[in-house]
Amino acid sequence: HYGVMFFFRGREAIDGQLVQVIKNFRETYGLSVIPVSVDGVINPMLPDSRTDQGQAEQLGVKFFPAMMLVNPKSGQVKPLSYGFISQDDLAKQFLYVSSDFKPNF
């Protein structure tokens, strides 16, 4: 029930490294990811990327790369991560944010 909006800069090396993590995360977990290039440069690993049409500003995203957790039913958006993150840490962070940090025991 959640999707991820991934805001990245196509010209930045660190964002390019995160693209590989996002691609693997998407394939591993079957998540819907909407990649959005904020500088208009599309990374070839994410050919379905869109160019930013004001979404980053509308969601208050000021730091990149950034991932936002989106609930399409409610329209609720929560920050998932800013900067580089490993796939394992991203999976944990996704669980924490999607469950509102409820303990899992």
In this prediction, residue 105 carries a pLDDT of: 54
**pLDDT tens, 23-52?**
999 999 898 999 999 999 999 999 999 999
* Residue at 60: amino acid letter: G
Q: How many CB atoms lie within 10 A of CB 89?
A: 12
Q: How many CA atoms lie within 13 A of 14 on its CB side?
A: 10
Please give the domain boundaries of the chain with CATH numbers for all domains: 3-98 (3.40.30.10)
**pLDDT tens, 58-103?**
999 999 999 999 988 998 999 999 999 999 999 999 989 988 877 6
